[in-house]
């Protein structure tokens, strides 16, 4: 067990002290469950104020160099996150920026670009979105067709990106584009694109409606958009390698720890997937014969199955934090996305079974249990098991990168 | 009684199934369904029943709404297996209509065996649509949520009924208030409050009865409901089987046409194998639906009716698990498009979720099945 | 609904009448659950006497031509099987012969060979085995390496077959061999091999021990075995096509109905997979807290899940018998092997859970519940989910042949 | 009490785990295990314990058998998390030995808190092996299957105990007879009847006590057993996790080397994906084992011990489901070779099946977990 460094110890104290007096007031608007569900400027504004405040105190971007707007510390983001998990806080709104754009920029952009982009990314003043998926490029990301053709020092972009969360608020997009049609992987190049500035001038953002009836994703269409070559990351034709940096961070298996706040701790079970809420739900919903759901032994068994998986998942992340127990660098982190998204789906489905007849009621119905939250959660759960690498692709990745089995494609 | 190996699928019954398949596929292709029920994605839209009344009139003219009503009451007098086959085809197009509630209500009315019930069956034959108002706020039969008082002219009902299926498409309610009572929806004092529901292909309501005149159909309401439960479960499960077959075929088609990694995705076992498993689930649920319908059609003594109830609970349990898996896989395997409003799969997934909890989910059916097969622990 | 033909009606009456007086006496030796488990000559002799008697009465091979030793009837084996299912009978021992060799010979052998082989196959006097699998050719059957080289009118065979049930009793083997190493599928040729006559003269049969500790399978080694070219089926290089006939019959999707007897009917639930026995077992076994297993609501739920699948499987076979409901010719029959073998496995596993601590006891222990049958059944269940096309291969076949999805290999 | 984020895996504990891994892998490669325990496939072979006594003596010399015994009694005084880590490595080689029973018995003895128990702990440190004889014929604690009578010199036991683990490898029995009693196996009147069991890596017996002299360890037998149950569950689950990791790695290796259809079979998602799912199950079970051990090591009040029991039941439930899946998939994915005696996978599958039912299966653990988390219905 490596002991904490002096820097880490001092920084941990700093975090604690600052947090003691800096927890933001509760929001006046109802917040979505995740940042990618932000719908209104009111919601965004509240969360941006929190991110800016945490950034100001040095709790965001701790491990990035000072000249990029970071804290210049070593392995301290983890400490800040741990302290931010201990108190009840909102989450950061700029999740694509912090989780994916920042490390990608850090590892692949020019120094000038890092200095230009990262400070306002960390502060949350500029929101980021991700332009990867296309109608014909989902699981098979390398088949993207959005084309960038070069004219001197500018690139002209045409194409169609889909499932871009936060695009309607975003100043910037990280974009994986094609610059050579003759080579699949080596024909890709990576850009940062100032989409807000170009709205109506080559960029159109349109909301996509989810199966739940809500908006939340967007499609972004590029028509003869011109951008400067300075917005290119790494070399022409190296886009796939750059995208791998993005994706490894998205999967929690990258080098840089993502700044994060907002989980609610609980002295007993802090359930990620909402199992605890469903146990609560079962206490005041009824089986078809009128019995309380929480008294049905089969329902109890199913609830415990999910509770055990929930706890097992959290404890396995705890195992990963112990260096001596970490026999493979990405075995546990690469499981996270797969495990949590499937668990959330099953929890929501069990909640509907527990609600029984009243699970038919949707969010607009005054009699819907928990405000119809679980029906909505179930429908939306597929966005999570599909987006950012479907569960099927996640299992390929785990089988290939961790268990070293041959590629399935 | 000895049951026919072919479930009673005689020529008439087979013809009905084929005609219904052809008719529904032609009249309500999925694009038309989407236009009909999914025009407004806003979850806070008004809870208006979206259905095609003209199409329903055609169904009535074909006599399919009265397929399982005995000939003396003017119906086609066909066996329940014909009704199940019809519901399967209706489920396959996720038909928004009062067909299921009317067929189920007919089973209740047949069990009532009273002149009033006979009269209502005749009205059904003429085109009246009927639904059941028999559940309390918890979705159970436990509380006396509606009470009936005898008056000089008949009966008066007071109280609330919940989870009334396709109420906005119905002309007459069968209300549980100790006994069972018939109430036309236009009767003064009936207040139908539509629910905002997830399923886009159905409507649902809770209903207030405020000194509502009603006609007695049967004294022993709960007994009649129990008696008709196997048939009602079977019809519901048939709808689910048909819907699941659509979910299977649509997803298979997508898997054959969507190319990723230089292969149609059906090449990948992570896509192919779950679809095979779904096919197996569907075939078992369908078979149990037919077995249940056949057993109900041929029951002559108590042992037969126990057998019929077993098959019916098996059918609903099997169909519910099938529907859960079908909805999950049809959405998941459609990938990015699968969780959008414009894709059709959510219409079916929502209908299936609704059907899964109606009349009790799989876990509940298995509990009652175990009580029959294994006896009740403690030996009541 | 096609009515039964006159021939079928008369034949059905004949079967009933014969069966009334011809049910064999109970065996004096304990019989294995399936024919491929036959271990002793006593067991074999008893079952051979039954098969010969049924053949003598015309209940075996009904649909084959008279000149091949068959009954010369049309679609009557089904009738005989139905009648034989209605009474308690032993099974036929020559299962590989009846189910696989006979149709293969019928469709691909010379008339002379049919006349020579089929009568004693139907009567059970000559037992057959199947020489397909090899150590390197399991799921990928077409990679067989057993080589047959031609010298004039004889073939010299060298190679190694495994998992050959009944080889220790068999007079004949159907053998898929390689005659050309340069072509995978078109380099195969199909033979019938008189293995019993060649024992010690180019053929060695050795028992393989199963994980349960029992024998039952064999390996068969060929060293310079000479056979006559008359024992070849169909043309040289057409072995794969011939093998497809064998396999489609093995999977219950072939043209010829396999003669079969021996299921036990039951007025209530006739469970194929033994669910009923496990329900019975649960009545007199105990949970770790001392409660009767049959009273545990979660155990009851699990039992009902299996009972429903068991009944669903049987009812779906009933659906397949109704021509008007048969929308695809092999959709249901091709499911049979997959569904029944996985169900049997899960039933056995639940039985072990129900037995609790006493599930640790094996067949030799006097206190083992049901004589240790369920532990043995669980271990042996894998022979069924693996042999004759693993469950994984079965799912490929269903996905490709029934749902028409692209081949996974 | 606040628990360390690292589960208490200090340097000493990490070193133990690494040393154990190295030692066991070197001393008992799977081929040697197969030779040791699977020499005779006949199910009717004599029920003789097959184990390597010399290897056990080495373990004793390393002090690992006494790893969790407090220093005052002469043990290593390490936390339970060290014992769990050790058991995990022992499970990984499917070690036939009295290690699990001795570690579990030590937990019982520690809980007894009596001079006799202290003395027995000291004997354990010196190399005595101990096992528990606490179950009745139904595998439960329900019946008074052994009775104790007080005599002038001490106590005398009569009755039967069942499902005694690794009895043939044990020197001393801890017998439940109201209280808990210590009985050396050589005491006159002790008759050990070996069971014929499925698991080749363990032995098991039922034991007759006929006027057997015994030393009282604790008056309140059931209370002590309950108190030590979380620790015993945790050690058992640790063994299962180690065994499952072997099942995973061995099957992955096979999937990488076995070629069919021109690909190593690990190419196919029907092989690859279940192995990934198994890995996830293992990692969760392992994490819950560590969490349980850590919670037990750091319990100071009632709330802590409730928490410890929760984690321990989670760990055993999780490990049992994991073991079921691991055994199924490791056998199935080995194909034809997988169901032969010569293949190693059945050794582990049989050990796992045995472990799954020991101390109660997953369903049972979940029921007790629900009683803690959700309260007992009816509110006892």
Kindly report, residue by residue over A284-305, the tens digit of the pLDDT: 999 999 999 999 999 999 999 9
Say whether A308 and D314 touch across the interface (CB within 8 A): yes
CA distance C392 to chain B (A): 8
Question: How far, in Å, CA of D196 to CA of D47, rounded?
Answer: 5
Which helix (H) or strand (E) segment holds residue A158: the answer is strand A154-161
Segment B145-168, tens digit of pLDDT: 999 999 998 999 999 999 999 999
Contacting chains of B (3 CB pairs or more, <8 Å) are: A, C, D
Cβ-based contacts of B269 with chain D (< 8 Å): 268-270, 273
Say whether A140 and B260 touch across the interface (CB within 8 A): yes
Q: Does A1 have pLDDT greater than 90?
A: no
Burial class (CB in 10 A: 0-12, 13-18, 19+), A371: middle
Cβ-based contacts of B269 with chain C (< 8 Å): 392, 395-396, 408
For residue C295, give the chain A residue with the closest CA: A297
Quick one: how far is CA C300 from the chain centroid?
32
Say whether B261 and A358 touch across the interface (CB within 8 A): no
Question: How far, in Å, CA of A131 to CA of A145, rounded?
Answer: 12
Cβ-based contacts of D163 with chain C (< 8 Å): 357-358, 360
What is the pLDDT averaged over residues C178-190? Answer: 96
Segment B86-117, tens digit of pLDDT: 999 999 999 999 999 999 999 999 999 999 99
The phi-psi region of residue C308 (left if phi > 0; otherwise alpha if psi is between -120 and 50; otherwise beta) is alpha
Cβ-based contacts of B138 with chain A (< 8 Å): 285-286, 290, 356-358
Q: Which two tokens stand for residue B233?
A: 């479960």
User: Is A250 an active-site residue?
Assistant: yes
What is the pLDDT averaged over residues B369-377? Answer: 95
Cβ-based contacts of A386 with chain B (< 8 Å): 332, 335-336, 338-339
Say whether A315 and D291 touch across the interface (CB within 8 A): yes
A133, A357, A367 ranked by CB distance to B135: nearest: A357
Residue A87 pLDDT grade (very low, low, confident, very high; cuts 50, 70, 90): confident
Interface of B with D in 271-290 (CB under 8 A): 273
Q: Which two tokens stand for residue D291?
A: 């969490």
Catalytic residues of C: 250
CA distance A297 to chain C (A): 6
Say whether C398 and B276 touch across the interface (CB within 8 A): yes
Cβ-based contacts of A295 with chain C (< 8 Å): none
D130-133 vs D172-177, strand pairing mode = parallel
Answer for the pair D308, D233: CB distance below 8 angstroms, yes or no: no
The pLDDT, as a whole number, for residue B153 is 85
Nearest to A356 by CA among A275, A301, A293, A303: A293
Segment C124-183, tens digit of pLDDT: 999 999 999 999 998 899 999 999 999 999 999 999 999 999 999 999 999 999 999 999
Q: Which two tokens stand for residue B5?
A: 């190996």
Burial class (CB in 10 A: 0-12, 13-18, 19+), C153: exposed
The pLDDT, as a whole number, for residue D322 is 98
Catalytic residue among A250, A349, A355, A400: A250
Residue A263 pLDDT grade (very low, low, confident, very high; cuts 50, 70, 90): low
Answer for the pair B273, C399: CB distance below 8 angstroms, yes or no: yes
Q: Does B138 have pLDDT greater than 50?
A: yes
3-state secondary structure string across chain C: CCCCCHHHHHHHHHHHHHHHHHCCCCCCCCCCCCHHHCCCHHHHHHHHHHHHHHHHCCCCCCCCCHHHCCCCCCCCHHHHHHHHHCCCCCCCCCHHHHHHHHHHHHHHCCHHHHHHHHHHHHCCCCCEEEECCECCECCCHHHCCCEEEEECCEEEEEEEECCCCCCCCCCEEEEEEECCCCCCCCCEEEEEECCHHHECCCEEEEEECECCCCCCEEEEEEEEEEEEHHHEECCCCCHHHHHHHHHHHHCCCCCCCCCCCCCCCCCCCCCCCCHHHHHHHHHCCECCCCCEHHHCHHHHHHHHHHHHHHHHHHHHHHHHHCHHHCCCCCCCHHHHHHHHHHHHHHHHHHHHHHHHHHHHECCCCCCCHHHHHHHHHHHHHHHHHHCCCCHHHHHHHHHHHHCCCCCCC
The pLDDT, as a whole number, for residue C321 is 87
Cβ-based contacts of C297 with chain A (< 8 Å): 296-298
Residue C203 pLDDT grade (very low, low, confident, very high; cuts 50, 70, 90): very high
Residue C406 sits at the chain A interface (C-beta within 8 Å): no
Segment B15-36, tens digit of pLDDT: 999 999 999 999 999 999 999 9
Residue A298 sits at the chain C interface (C-beta within 8 Å): yes
Paired with D181 in beta bridges are D175, D216
Contacting chains of D (3 CB pairs or more, <8 Å) are: A, B, C
Segment C79-115, tens digit of pLDDT: 999 899 888 899 999 999 999 999 999 999 999 999 9
For residue B271, give the chain D residue with the closest CA: D269
Quick one: how far is CA A140 from the chain centroid?
20
- Lowest pLDDT segment from A52-56, B1-5, B149-153: B1-5
Torsion of CA B306, B312, B317, B318, to 10 degrees: 120
The pLDDT, as a whole number, for residue B110 is 96
Residue A266 pLDDT grade (very low, low, confident, very high; cuts 50, 70, 90): very low
For residue D274, give the chain B residue with the closest CA: B270
What is the pLDDT averaged over residues C289-313? Answer: 96
What is the pLDDT averaged over residues A312-326? Answer: 93
Phi first, then psi: what are they for D251, rounded to 5°? -75, -35
Q: What ipTM goes with this model?
A: 0.94
Question: How far, in Å, CA of A39 to CA of A23, rounded?
Answer: 23
What is the pLDDT averaged over residues A218-246? Answer: 96
Residue D153 sits at the chain B interface (C-beta within 8 Å): no
CA distance D313 to chain C (A): 14
DSSP E strands in chain B: the ranges are 130-133, 146-150, 155-165, 172-177, 179-184, 190-194, 204-218, 259-260, 263-264
The pLDDT, as a whole number, for residue A271 is 59
- Lowest pLDDT segment from B291-300, C386-395, D156-165: C386-395
Say whether B273 and D270 touch across the interface (CB within 8 A): yes
Residue A30 pLDDT grade (very low, low, confident, very high; cuts 50, 70, 90): confident
Answer for the pair D233, D132: CB distance below 8 angstroms, yes or no: no
CA distance A409 to chain C (A): 11
CA distance C361 to chain D (A): 4
Question: How far, in Å, CA of D246 to CA of D236, rounded?
Answer: 16
The pLDDT, as a whole number, for residue D38 is 97
Say whether B331 and A390 touch across the interface (CB within 8 A): no
Q: What share of chain A is helix, strand, coil (3-state, %, to 5)?
A: 45, 15, 40
Segment C228-283, tens digit of pLDDT: 999 999 999 999 999 999 999 988 888 999 999 875 433 333 456 789 999 999 99
Nearest to C121 by CA among C143, C99, C139: C99
Say whether A331 and D283 touch across the interface (CB within 8 A): yes
Segment B316-372, tens digit of pLDDT: 999 999 999 999 999 999 999 999 999 999 999 999 999 999 999 999 999 999 999
CA distance D266 to chain A (A): 5
Task: State chain C's mean pLDDT as an integer.
Answer: 93
What is the pLDDT averaged over residues A1-12? Answer: 84
Task: State chain A's mean pLDDT as an integer.
Answer: 93
The pLDDT, as a whole number, for residue C269 is 38
What is the pLDDT averaged over residues B49-72? Answer: 96
With a pLDDT cut of 70, the percent of chain B lying above it is 99
A213, A361, A367 ranked by CB distance to B41: nearest: A213
Query: pTM for the complete prediction?
Result: 0.94
Question: How far, in Å, CA of B118 to CA of D129, rounded?
Answer: 81
Answer for the pair A347, A305: CB distance below 8 angstroms, yes or no: no
Count of B-C CB contacts under 8 Å: 144
Question: How far, in Å, CA of B214 to CA of A42, rounded?
Answer: 53
Cβ-based contacts of C296 with chain A (< 8 Å): 297
For residue A317, give the chain D residue with the closest CA: D287
Question: How far, in Å, CA of C208 to CA of C219, rounded?
Answer: 6
CA distance A163 to chain B (A): 8
Question: How far, in Å, CA of C302 to CA of C296, rounded?
Answer: 10
C1, C304, C331 ranked by CB distance to B369: nearest: C304
Segment D292-306, tens digit of pLDDT: 999 999 999 999 999
Cβ-based contacts of D273 with chain B (< 8 Å): 269-270
The pLDDT, as a whole number, for residue A2 is 53
For residue A298, give the chain C residue with the closest CA: C298
A294, A319, A335 ranked by CB distance to D290: nearest: A319
């Amino acid at each position: 067990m490596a002991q904490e460094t002096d820097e880490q110890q001092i920084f941990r104290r700093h975090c604690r002290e600052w947090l003691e007096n800096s927890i933001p007031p509760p929001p006046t608007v109802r917040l979505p469950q995740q940042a990618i569900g932000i719908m209104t400027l009111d919601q965004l504004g509240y969360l941006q104020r929190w991110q800016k405040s945490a950034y100001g105190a040095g709790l965001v971007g701790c491990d990035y160099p000072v000249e990029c707007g970071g804290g210049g510390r070593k392995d301290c983001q983890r400490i800040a996150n741990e302290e931010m998990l201990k108190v009840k806080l909102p989450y950061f709104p700029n999740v694509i920026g912090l989780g994916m754009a920042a490390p990608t920029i850090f590892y692949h952009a020019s120094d000038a670009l890092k200095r230009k982009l990262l400070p306002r990314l960390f502060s949350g003043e500029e929101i980021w979105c991700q332009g990867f998926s296309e109608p014909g490029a989902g699981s098979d990301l390398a088949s993207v067709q959005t084309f960038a053709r070069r004219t001197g020092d500018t690139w002209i972009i045409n194409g169609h990106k889909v499932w871009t969360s936060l695009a309607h608020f975003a100043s910037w997009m990280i974009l994986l584009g094609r610059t050579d049609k003759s080579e699949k992987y080596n024909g890709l190049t990576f850009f940062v694109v100032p989409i807000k500035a170009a709205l109506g001038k080559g960029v159109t953002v349109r909301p996509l409606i989810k199966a739940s009836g809500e908006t939340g994703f967007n499609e972004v269409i590029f028509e003869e958009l011109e951008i400067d070559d300075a917005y290119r990351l790494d070399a022409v034709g190296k886009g796939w390698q750059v995208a791998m940096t993005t994706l490894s961070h998205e999967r929690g298996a990258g080098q840089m720890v993502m700044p994060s706040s907002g989980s609610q701790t609980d002295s007993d079970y802090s359930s990620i997937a909402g199992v605890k809420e469903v146990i609560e739900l079962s206490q005041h919903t009824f089986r078809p014969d009128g019995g309380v759901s929480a008294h049905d032994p089969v329902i109890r068994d199913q609830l415990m199955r999910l509770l055990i998986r929930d706890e097992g998942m959290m404890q396995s992340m705890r195992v990963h934090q112990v260096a001596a127990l970490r026999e493979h660098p990405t075995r546990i982190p690469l499981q996270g996305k797969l495990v949590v998204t499937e668990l959330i789906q099953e929890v929501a489905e069990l909640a509907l079974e527990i609600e029984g007849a009243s699970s038919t009621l949707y969010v607009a119905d005054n009699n819907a249990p928990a405000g119809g939250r679980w029906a909505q959660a179930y429908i939306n759960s597929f966005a999570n098991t599909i987006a950012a690498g479907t569960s099927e692709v996640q299992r390929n990745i785990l089988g290939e990168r961790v268990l070293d089995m041959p590629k399935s494609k | 009684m000895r049951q026919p190996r072919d479930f009673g699928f005689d020529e008439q019954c087979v013809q009905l199934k084929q005609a219904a398949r052809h008719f529904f596929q032609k009249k309500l292709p999925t694009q038309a369904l989407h236009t009909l029920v999914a025009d407004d994605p806003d979850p806070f839209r008004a809870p208006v029943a979206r259905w095609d009344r003209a199409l329903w009139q055609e169904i009535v003219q074909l006599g399919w709404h009265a397929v399982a009503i005995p000939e003396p009451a003017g119906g086609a007098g066909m066996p329940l297996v014909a009704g199940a086959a019809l519901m399967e085809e209706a489920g396959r197009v996720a038909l928004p209509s009062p067909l299921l509630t009317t067929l189920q209500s007919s089973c209740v009315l047949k069990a009532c065996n009273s002149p009033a019930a006979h009269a209502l069956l005749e009205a059904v034959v003429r085109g009246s649509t009927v639904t059941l108002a028999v559940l309390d706020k918890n979705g159970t039969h436990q509380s006396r949520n509606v009470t009936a008082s005898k008056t000089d002219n008949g009966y008066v009902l007071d109280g609330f009924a919940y989870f009334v299926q396709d109420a906005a498409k119905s002309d007459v309610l069968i209300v549980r208030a100790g006994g069972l009572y018939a109430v036309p929806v236009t009767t003064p004092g009936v207040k139908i409050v539509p629910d905002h529901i997830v399923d886009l292909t159905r409507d649902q309501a809770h209903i207030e009865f405020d000194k509502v005149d009603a006609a007695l159909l049967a004294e022993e309401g709960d007994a009649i409901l129990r008696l008709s439960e196997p048939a009602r479960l079977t019809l519901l499960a048939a709808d689910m089987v048909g819907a699941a077959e659509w979910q299977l075929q649509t997803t298979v088609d997508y898997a054959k046409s969507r190319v990723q990694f230089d292969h149609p995705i059906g090449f990948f076992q992570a896509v192919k194998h779950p679809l095979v498993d779904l096919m197996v689930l569907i075939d078992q649920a369908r078979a149990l639906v037919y077995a249940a319908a056949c057993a109900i059609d041929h029951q002559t003594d108590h042992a037969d009716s126990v057998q019929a109830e077993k098959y019916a609970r098996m059918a609903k349990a099997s169909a519910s698990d099938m529907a859960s898996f079908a909805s999950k896989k049809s959405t998941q395997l459609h990938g990015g498009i699968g969780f959008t409003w414009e894709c059709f799969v959510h219409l079916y997934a929502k209908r299936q979720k609704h059907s899964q909890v109606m009349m009790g989910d799989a876990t509940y059916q298995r509990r009652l099945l175990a009580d029959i097969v294994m006896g009740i622990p403690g030996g009541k």
